[in-house]
Copies of this chain bind each other. A is one copy, B any other.
Amino acid sequence: MVDDVHEKRPFISKLPMEKEDLLLFVNADVEPKTKYVDELTERVRSFSSRQPSAVVGIGGGSVMDLAKAVSLMLTNPGSSADYQGWDLVKHPAVYHVGLPTLAGTGAEVSRTAILTGPVRKLGINSDYTPFDQIILDPDLLEGAPADQRFYTAMDSYIHGAEALRGKFINEYSRAYAEKSMELCREVFLGELNEHVADEKLMIASYFGGLSIAYSQVGVCHALSYGLSYVLGARHGVGNCVIFSHLEEYYPVEVREFRTMVAKHRIPLPREMTKGLDDHQMSEMIRVALSLDPLWQNALGPDWKKIMTPEKARELYLRL
Chain A interface residues toward B at CB < 8 A? 136, 170-172, 175, 178-179, 183, 196, 199-200, 202-203, 206-207
Contact = CB atoms under 8 A, between A and B. Distances in A.
Contacts of A179: 175, 178-179
A199 B179 CA distance: 17
6 contacts: A170-B199, A171-B199, A172-B203, A175-B179, A175-B203, A179-B179
Report which residue of A175, A179, A203, A207 has the largest number of chain B beta carbons within 10 angstroms of its beta carbon.
A175
Contacts of A196: 171
Contacts of A172: 136, 203, 206
Contacts of A170: 199
Nearest to A198: B171
A175 B183 contact: yes
A200 B196 CA distance: 28
Nearest to A176: B179
Nearest to A136: B172
Nearest to A201: B171
A233 to B, nearest CB: 31
Q: Which 10 A-B pairs have the closest CB atoms?
A: A171-B199, A179-B179, A175-B203, A171-B203, A175-B179, A171-B200, A172-B203, A175-B207, A175-B183, A178-B179
Nearest to A170: B199
A192 to B, nearest CB: 11
Given A136-B172, A179-B179, 9 more contacts: A170-B199, A171-B200, A171-B202, A172-B203, A175-B179, A175-B200, A175-B203, A175-B207, A178-B179
A199 B174 CA distance: 11
Contacts of A206: 172
Nearest to A199: B171
Report which residue of A136, A183, A203 has the largest number of chain B beta carbons within 10 angstroms of its beta carbon.
A203
A270 B136 CA distance: 45
A178 B185 CA distance: 15
A241 to B, nearest CB: 29
A202 B172 CA distance: 9
Nearest to A196: B171
A172 B136 CA distance: 10
Contacts of A175: 179, 183, 200, 203, 207
Nearest to A173: B203
Report which residue of A136, A179, A200 has the largest number of chain B beta carbons within 10 angstroms of its beta carbon.
A179
Contacts of A136: 172
A135 to B, nearest CB: 12
Nearest to A172: B203
Nearest to A179: B179
